[in-house]
Structure 1
Amino acid sequence: MLTVASCSEFLETPSKSKLSTENFYDKPANIDQNLVGIYGALKPFSKYYFVMSEFRSDNLFNTTEAKTNDQSDCAQFNSTGLLTNSIVASCWADHYTLIAAANVLLDRMDGAGLDGAVATQYAAEARFLRALSYFDLVRFFGRVPISLHEIGPSEAFNIPQSEAIEVYEQAILPDLQYAVEHLQETATDYLGKEHKERVSRKAAKALLGKVYMQLAGYPFYQDTKAEAQALFTDVLATYTVNWAPTMKEWEEMWLHENDNKYYLFEIQYVAEKGQGNPATPYSKGGNTYADEYCGANLTAGSHIYVERDLQEHFLESNTIDNGDGTTTEEYIDKRLWGTVNTGLTYDEETGEYIGGATDQNNFCVKMFENKVKRGRLKYADMDADIVDRTCWPQNWPVLRIEDIMLLQAELLGSSASNIDSNGNNGYFYLNLIRERAGLNALNTLPEEAYQQAVANERRYELIGEGHRWFDQVRQNTFVNDLQTMFINYRDKRDASHSSTYTIYANRLSQNSALYPIPQSQIRIREGLYTQNPGY
């Protein structure tokens, strides 16, 4: 619903899978197949988390002019280009595609003869996925239309925008509260088979807690932190189920052999043409070292670098005296190799990186399952399976336990005596992540310094996963953070393009918190939608 006029046929079909007919909802197997189709509608979402959130934040820096490609518009706050940006338009359309499919399933499944408990489970899964889509839409676009039932084209073209808070109150919160109440710890289908790849009660609690965190921040500032903390406490009561205790396991979690092992909920991909993770090629972008990392053509048009100050954190090192007249440079944050390409050369015989220092062509390799990474971790080369840029099998983490740990740490604050019902204070969750990465434990910090340490750790741990921009908006630091990044590049990194970076910095305002409503939507019916301020 509510995509473009040419998509009106979709509004009358039950599922994105296009397998639906009027009698497609008459038996359990068909309902299950339809639910799988709704999960399948998540496939393009990783691109939006990476391009529209990660690129837009100060984690990654884009030096390609916006007129060259659509992802540059997102990174450089090009308000004119974003109106007709194909990525922004497809984000709107794909999220409403999932919502429409979920609406049809929820409206039609009653006559399929499902066991009551199974029907409730399936409804809870569909409502979780619908809530996730609305949560993305309201964070990206603000005022969006709400539909919670199957509709036809004429009705779709008459549904106005709702206020952002109404989207939370009428769609997101009720759906997630239902999901928390009715989901299982591990999803099962109508035959009793477990599906770890589907959504669980723990994942629903985690997402609902994140929703409450968003409501507690800019621009709503609602009193919802207690609700978030209670949900996170429940999720973290069994955190070790999803926890990688060593750096080796942390690095291995980003390989497809470990899909559905460490994440709370992830989007599923396989190494087949058109079925892979669409975010992966953007990880590599237009940077060099293509042959070293992968044989497939990964050209995505943009030069996307890890922001220089962030890169310097990962490249911070100590010189170790080996006692034999030689020294070894040891990088302090052990997540370096799983996070940032630095131009170092990997030695397959020794399993070490040679040379090094800051490299201008660095890029984020976390979501890029390349042969260098696999070789270092002693996994077989899979280059032959990557026929083209649509084949990457690594799943995308929508919800990860470290994300929840750090949000809980933020809520608990710097007081060591402020503990949750698991008996843990904020330092416990913060230091679990820091110490695994080889960083020193923190304690007894003033509150402001503590909160900055938590924000920094979210940046180091979650880079590349699409959380940073949403954090910056929630904490209302996005204008200052991004202007600072552009000005630093102007003054310290690339003075030859100073006027360009000044333009980027000057584009930032409070209106930048949201993307524009795609122009294709505005034109469907004149006066139906109001464009977001600043566009």
Structure 2
Amino acid sequence: MLKHKKYFAALLVASMALSSCSDDFLEIKPRGTDLESNYYQNQQEALNGLVAVYDVVGMQSSGFVTKLTALNSASDDHFAGGGGPNDVTSIQVWSNYTLDPATGPQGDLWSKGFSGVFRANVLLQKLPQVPMDEALKARYRAEATFLRAYFYFDLVRLFENIPLFTEPVSTADMYDVLQANPADVYAQIEADILAALPDLPAQVNLETEAGRATEGMARAVLGKVYLQQEKFAEAAEQFEMVNGTPGGTSQYGYKLLDNYADLFAVDNKYNSESIFEIAHTNTSNGDWGCVGCTEGNVLNIMVGPRGYNPIAENAPDYVSGWSFLTITPELNNAMENDPRKSATIADLDSLEKAGAVTYEKGYNNTGYFLEKFAGRQKDRSTGGGVMELNFRQNIYEIRLADSYLLEAEALVRGGGNTSRAQALLDAVRARVGLPSIPVTIDTVLEERRLELAGEGHRWFDLIRNGRAAEALASKGFVAGKHEILPIPLLELDNTLMEQNQEYGGTK
């Protein structure tokens, strides 16, 4: 426990062991562990600090827990899968709702969020004294402020009762920190994004700055923040600015791709549908000595079929993976006649019955795997490091079809412009050749399920709309408890924080 606390404190005062994200502007690899008190002496060091904040967005734990894998495993569309019931226990226990304060993904998700908050706060504290161009400084400040809001949004949605830090906290004071009222956290998130908006660019040069925060990205996150609080009119307003005319090109250049499957082509990064994208690379030389250090996409190896053996000449070129996040029969049935199915679900059961492949039946095997992220032989790393940890497929945090359907949800639930909501739903369906259907909250949520399957949105959709208890009952979900995660047990040691009452605490 003491070791864990020392780690938590170290993030507050010495987060300058800077690692890097991948691609373009994020391709910066600072060396050394400069003490924070001696850092931020010039523009380059300020940029390095900003890269350190961005780096947390794509953080993957050494235990193979990521935000996306954890959220998918908890939804009704996936089982945890893997090699057995104790394979990556953290996601197994969320998938079957046996998690408790000591066991689950909460430690990794908490550490990720507060790592980002702490790094952002250090940069925001130091920036005023850095000698550099003032306009550029304002942009760095806006990016760090927006990212702090983004990290806090995940934290408050997942844990509800969390500390609220808007500046670095000393090691001595850390143990006296109290949890904030969730309403105050949401107010700070809103204030941060609104403060950041004037100094964020409308667009960035994708050759040099791909992945950096933009005005559209910030408005999309703000729309989600408002929607989570059922501020429907405010949410719809933000999404409309992001989305523009349904089916057209928005003021920020966003446009639905013509071909749905192209969204998941590994080389199609930062395309017109991408609003907020998490970068991965196959050049970080990730190896087993530090799984959490890799910048490759571990999801690609995790979701591939275990023991995969192609027999037919035209069999898919999957890399043999670890069979996590198997698709439930219910999702497969829901997508049976949907044009998006072939880009979403890999039907290994049918391939094996046809004599095209064989594969090992892992835990929770259904025969259905997540096609969107299953690693392919053609995408194997040709550089250093181990193959399993160095896939380069990026992940969408927010894309335009997601934003369309969130606006439609806000309009329907808030009694807004039904015609616009209908047009937004129609545009998503028309892209894949599906006819118009009447817009209701049921049709919007079902469209989100099919359009965004496997992309980490389903669990939040169910929780936000009060449908989790019914949809997840067969997995062990208990209403009034499992809508949030427990505060990680180690974070309560020798502090004034209290456990959520849903998990035996008083908060």
Give the counterpart of 1:251 among 251, 261, 268: 261
Distance 1:282 1:404 in 2: 27
Query: Deviation at 1:460?
Result: 0.4
Distance 1:529 1:282 in 2: 34
In the alignment, what sits opposite 2:11? 10
In the alignment, what sits opposite 1:460? 450
In the alignment, what sits opposite 2:118? 100
C-alpha contact (below 8 Å) 1:409/1:429 kept by paired residues:
yes
Change in Cα spacing, 1:16 to 1:163, as seen in structure 2 (3 Å) is farther
Mean CA deviation greater in 127-136 or 12-21: 12-21
For residues 58-93 of structure 1, the C-alpha deviation after alignment (integer angstroms, 9 at most, x for no partner) is: 11124676545221111111133x5233x3212111
Change in Cα spacing, 1:293 to 1:25, as seen in structure 2 (3 Å) is farther
Change in Cα spacing, 1:138 to 1:66, as seen in structure 2 (3 Å) is farther
Matched, 1:183 2:182: no
Matched, 1:438 2:407: no
Give the counterpart of 2:480 among 503, 506, 510: 510
Change in Cα spacing, 1:12 to 1:158, as seen in structure 2 (3 Å) is same
Give the counterpart of 2:228 among 214, 235, 240: 214
Give the counterpart of 1:314 among 324, 335, 351: 335
Matched, 1:410 2:431: no
- The amino acid across from 1:71 in the alignment is I
- The amino acid across from 1:257 in the alignment is D
- Mark the runs of 5 or more structure 2 residues left unpaired by the alignment: 19-31, 287-293, 358-364
Query: Deviation at 1:381?
Result: 5.3
Query: Deviation at 1:530?
Result: 2.7
C-alpha contact (below 8 Å) 1:416/1:427 kept by paired residues:
no
In the alignment, what sits opposite 1:320? none
Distance 2:468 2:321 in 1: 30
In the alignment, what sits opposite 1:283? 303
For residues 392-421 of structure 1, the C-alpha deviation after alignment (integer angstroms, 9 at most, x for no partner) is: 1111111111111001122333999936xx
In the alignment, what sits opposite 1:109? 127
Distance 2:265 2:175 in 1: 43
Query: Deviation at 1:528?
Result: 2.9
Give secondary structure in 2 for the equivalent of 1:441.
coil
Note the 1:65-144 alignment, pairs <5 A.
Answer: 66-68=85-87, 69-80=89-100, 83-85=102-104, 87-144=105-162
C-alpha contact (below 8 Å) 1:145/1:160 kept by paired residues:
yes
Matched, 1:40 2:63: no
Query: Deviation at 1:125?
Result: 0.6
In the alignment, what sits opposite 1:492? none
For residues 467-511 of structure 1, the C-alpha deviation after alignment (integer angstroms, 9 at most, x for no partner) is: 11111111011011111xx2xxxxxxxxxxxxxxxxx43x52221
Query: Deviation at 1:454?
Result: 0.7
Change in Cα spacing, 1:83 to 1:468, as seen in structure 2 (3 Å) is same
Give the counterpart of 2:236 among 229, 237, 259: 229
Change in Cα spacing, 1:102 to 1:244, as seen in structure 2 (3 Å) is same
Distance 1:519 1:150 in 2: 23
Query: Deviation at 1:108?
Result: 0.3
For residues 408-441 of structure 1, the C-alpha deviation after alignment (integer angstroms, 9 at most, x for no partner) is: 122333999936xxxx611211111112223222
Give secondary structure in 2 for the equivalent of 1:161.
coil
Query: Deviation at 1:513?
Result: 0.4
Give secondary structure in 2 for the equivalent of 1:197.
coil
Give the counterpart of 2:277 among 259, 266, 276: 266
Change in Cα spacing, 1:405 to 1:480, as seen in structure 2 (3 Å) is same
Mean CA deviation greater in 516-525 or 395-404: 516-525
Matched, 1:334 2:339: yes
Query: Deviation at 1:147?
Result: 0.8
Distance 1:416 1:91 in 2: 35
Distance 1:280 1:369 in 2: 4
Note the 1:376-387 alignment, pairs <5 A.
Answer: 382=380, 384=382, 387=386
Matched, 1:471 2:456: no
Distance 1:184 1:44 in 2: 25
Give secondary structure in 1 for the equivalent of 2:123.
helix
Query: Deviation at 1:124?
Result: 0.8
Distance 1:412 1:118 in 2: 37
Change in Cα spacing, 1:225 to 1:439, as seen in structure 2 (3 Å) is same
Matched, 1:205 2:214: no
Distance 1:142 1:205 in 2: 22
C-alpha contact (below 8 Å) 2:282/2:390 kept by paired residues:
yes
Query: Deviation at 1:282?
Result: 3.3
Give secondary structure in 2 for the equivalent of 1:397.
strand
Give secondary structure in 2 for the equivalent of 1:242.
coil
Matched, 1:196 2:247: no
Distance 2:446 2:307 in 1: 28
- The amino acid across from 1:394 in the alignment is Q
Distance 2:415 2:431 in 1: 20
Distance 2:235 2:5 in 1: 39
In the alignment, what sits opposite 2:362? none
Query: Deviation at 1:462?
Result: 0.8
Give secondary structure in 2 for the equivalent of 1:256.
coil
- The amino acid across from 2:218 in the alignment is A
Distance 2:451 2:222 in 1: 21
Distance 1:36 1:414 in 2: 38
Distance 1:334 1:39 in 2: 35
C-alpha contact (below 8 Å) 1:16/1:98 kept by paired residues:
no
- The amino acid across from 2:479 in the alignment is S
Change in Cα spacing, 1:388 to 1:521, as seen in structure 2 (3 Å) is same
- The amino acid across from 1:242 in the alignment is Y
Structure with bigger gyration radius: 1
Matched, 1:23 2:38: yes
In the alignment, what sits opposite 2:392? 393
Distance 2:14 2:479 in 1: 41
Distance 2:3 2:121 in 1: 15
Aligned residues: 452
Query: Deviation at 1:187?
Result: 4.4
Give secondary structure in 2 for the equivalent of 1:44.
coil
Distance 1:335 1:35 in 2: 37
Give secondary structure in 1 for the equivalent of 2:303.
helix
For residues 211-257 of structure 1, the C-alpha deviation after alignment (integer angstroms, 9 at most, x for no partner) is: 000011xxxxxxx111111111111127633334422xx32222331
- The TM-score with structure 1 as length reference comes to 0.77
Give secondary structure in 2 for the equivalent of 1:463.
coil
- The amino acid across from 2:369 in the alignment is F
C-alpha contact (below 8 Å) 1:43/1:277 kept by paired residues:
no
C-alpha contact (below 8 Å) 1:44/1:278 kept by paired residues:
no
In the alignment, what sits opposite 2:322? 299
- Mark the runs of 5 or more structure 1 residues left unpaired by the alignment: 217-223, 317-332, 347-352, 372-379, 487-503
Change in Cα spacing, 1:150 to 1:267, as seen in structure 2 (3 Å) is same
Distance 2:264 2:270 in 1: 11
Change in Cα spacing, 1:136 to 1:415, as seen in structure 2 (3 Å) is closer
